[in-house]
């Protein structure tokens, strides 16, 4: 042993055990410590005494005057805990330390560098030397044929990442290009989420890496088999393609590159397609790109729910563009609901009105036979919206259509299990609106009817008829169209009957205050 090392002795017994410690010029007292493990080249040793374990690194021969010995870590855990760490560090650091880095690189194999490698091993216990080199962006280890090139397809035990996966996640274009040039690079490997390398590149929003991957596949003639073309259109564990992820992130350059390579935006999982994702993100540019390459994608339905992309629109601008490109607003989902059904159920009046001015079926029925008006008048879907109900009527909704259960919109609005009308300002006004538009009462025998919708008795039929007779006076056509006389004739019966405070009497709703207070009504 050299005099230089002997003069720098430090007995480990006097040093407090540490989880990670880099200590050059340290030696062990063989009488106190025994060798528990050592690497094949014997440049790493795991020593132990009664108190702790100590891992030593001998980067050069022990009889070299300029040699140093590094204590990489000290741990007072049991052997089963420190052995895996010893194996990882000896494997990773042994390979990296043997690499001849370019003199122009920033790598200096000193104490700080060794400590950095040791810490990275501890924080990434699933990494081998190639994974660690990729995470640091080291090109030199992969430029030399040998151990590192043989490790490029190895996967971490937790996320199933390869060195190429790590390079792509880091957006490392140079390292990605270098690994892809290796003849043994396997492009079919997926991570623990089922993501291919194209998925990872799309998540990174890197069109440059996507192009490198596509070019690599083409250069290896992998498009010739149906198995390998799945690299472009394969689904991950969530059922998403790389194209879907690019659309979800509105990554226009990635979408262009994938479309040019031949990716099919019509391929989707059971829930959404790339077109759905683009519409949800309100990205008109994404929609334009997809439709330019695949015009039929505009009406792609999801496999199970049969949702069209137009269902996901969030702005008038997007809806206008979708319709221009050929989107059909009358498409139904698996339950037969149109987009108008959904907007009425959501009480989205603004978007519903935007739809109503389109060429669509205002009285389309779902599988239960319900029209949009049925849903708009159903209190179980939330607070009633009078403007929505009025809008449907103005655009021609039939107020007397029945669903498959034989129920009209008026009955759905007024029904109650106790057969007692539940008066409220909104319900009364909605009932008035339906009644004024000609909504008929239910026939006899319908369950859960209330005063607002039940069939009148014989005695109740006589009084309104007399009132209508008394009120029927000649009205000029011009006056009927321009004034309030027409509305007055509709309201006579309503004003003459009992209000909701008398739940047993027939009730046709309450008109808005502005209509009641109008001078034309007062005069009459």
pLDDT at residue number 71: 86
Most confident of 30-39, 101-110, 283-292, 473-482: 283-292
**Position 62 confidence tier, pLDDT thresholds 50, 70, 90:** very low
For residues 452 and 37, the model is more confident at 452
Average pLDDT, integer, range 485-505 = 49
Buried-exposed string 469-501: b where 16+ CB fall within 10 A, e elsewhere:
eeeeeeeeeeeeeeebbeebbebbbbeebeebe
pLDDT at residue number 487: 43
CA-closest candidate to residue 210, choices 268, 218, 288: 218
Q: What is the pLDDT of residues 69-81, one digit of tens each?
A: 888 888 888 888 8
For residues 281 and 4, the model is more confident at 281
pLDDT at residue number 463: 62
CB 239 within 8 A of CB 223: no
Q: What is the pLDDT of residues 9-33, one digit of tens each?
A: 333 333 333 445 555 545 555 555 6
Q: Calculate what percentage of the chain has a pLDDT beyond 90.
A: 50
Average pLDDT, integer, range 375-390 = 96
Query: Looking at the predicted structure, is the pLDDT value of residue 63 above 50?
Result: no
Which has the minimum average pLDDT: 135-149, 222-236, 305-319, 378-392?
222-236
Query: Looking at the predicted structure, is the pLDDT value of residue 520 above 60?
Result: no
Average pLDDT, integer, range 316-341 = 90
Rounded to 10 deg, the angle between the 207-219 and 173-180 helix axes is 10
Average pLDDT, integer, range 473-490 = 42
Query: Looking at the predicted structure, is the pLDDT value of residue 395 above 70?
Result: yes
- C-alpha distances (whole Å) from 270 to each of 338, 392, 496 are 19, 32, 57
């Amino acid at each position: 042993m050299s005099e230089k090392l002997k003069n720098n002795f430090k007995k480990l017994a006097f040093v407090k055990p540490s989880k990670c410690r880099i200590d050059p010029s340290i030696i062990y007292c063989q009488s106190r410590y025994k060798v528990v493990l050592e690497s094949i080249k014997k440049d790493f040793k795991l020593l132990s005494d009664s108190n702790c374990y100590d891992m030593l690194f001998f980067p050069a021969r022990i009889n070299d005057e300029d040699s140093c010995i590094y204590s990489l870590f000290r741990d007072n855990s049991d052997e089963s805990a420190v052995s895996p760490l010893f194996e990882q560090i000896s494997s990773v650091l042994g390979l990296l330390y043997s690499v001849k880095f370019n003199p122009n690189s920033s790598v200096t194999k000193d104490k700080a560098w060794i400590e950095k490698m040791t810490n990275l091993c501890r924080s990434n216990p699933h990494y081998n030397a190639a994974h660690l080199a990729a995470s640091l962006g080291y090109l030199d280890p992969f430029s030399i044929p040998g151990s590192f090139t043989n490790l490029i397809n190895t996967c971490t035990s937790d996320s199933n990442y390869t060195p190429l996966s790590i390079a792509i996640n880091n957006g490392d274009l140079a390292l990605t290009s270098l690994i892809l040039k290796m003849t043994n690079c396997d492009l079919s490997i997926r991570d623990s989420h089922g993501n291919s390398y194209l998925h990872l590149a799309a998540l990174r929003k890197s069109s440059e890496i996507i192009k490198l991957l596509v070019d690599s596949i083409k250069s290896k003639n992998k498009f010739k088999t149906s198995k390998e073309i799945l690299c472009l259109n394969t689904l991950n564990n969530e059922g998403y393609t790389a194209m879907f992820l690019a659309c979800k992130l509105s990554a226009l350059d990635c979408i262009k590159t994938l479309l040019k390579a031949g990716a099919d935006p019509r391929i989707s999982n059971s829930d959404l397609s790339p077109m759905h994702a683009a519409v949800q993100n309100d990205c008109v540019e994404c929609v334009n790109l997809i439709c330019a390459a695949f015009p039929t994608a505009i009406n792609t339905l999801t496999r199970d729910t049969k949702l069209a992309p137009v269902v996901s629109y969030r702005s008038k601008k997007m809806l206008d563009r979708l319709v221009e490109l050929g989107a059909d607003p009358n498409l139904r989902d698996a339950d037969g609901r149109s987009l108008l059904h959904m907007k009425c159920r959501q009480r989205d009046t603004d978007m519903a009105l935007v739809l109503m001015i389109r060429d669509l079926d205002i009285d389309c029925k779902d599988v239960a036979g319900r029209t949009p008006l049925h849903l708009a008048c159903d209190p179980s879907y939330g607070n009633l919206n009078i403007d929505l109900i009025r809008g449907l009527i103005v655009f021609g909704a039939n107020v007397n259509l029945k669903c498959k259960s034989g129920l009209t919109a008026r009955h759905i609005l007024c029904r109650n299990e106790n057969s007692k009308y539940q008066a409220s300002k909104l319900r009364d006004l909605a009932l008035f609106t339906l009644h004024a538009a000609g909504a008929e009462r239910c026939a006899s025998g319908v369950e859960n009817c209330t005063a607002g919708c039940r069939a009148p008795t014989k005695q109740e039929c006589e009084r309104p008829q007399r009132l209508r007779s008394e009120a029927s006076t000649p009205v000029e056509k011009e006056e009927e169209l321009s004034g309030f006389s027409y509305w007055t004739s509709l309201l006579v019966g309503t004003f003459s009957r009992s209000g909701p405070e008398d739940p047993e009497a027939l009730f046709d709703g309450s008109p808005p205050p502005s209509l009641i207070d109008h001078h034309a009504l007062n005069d009459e």
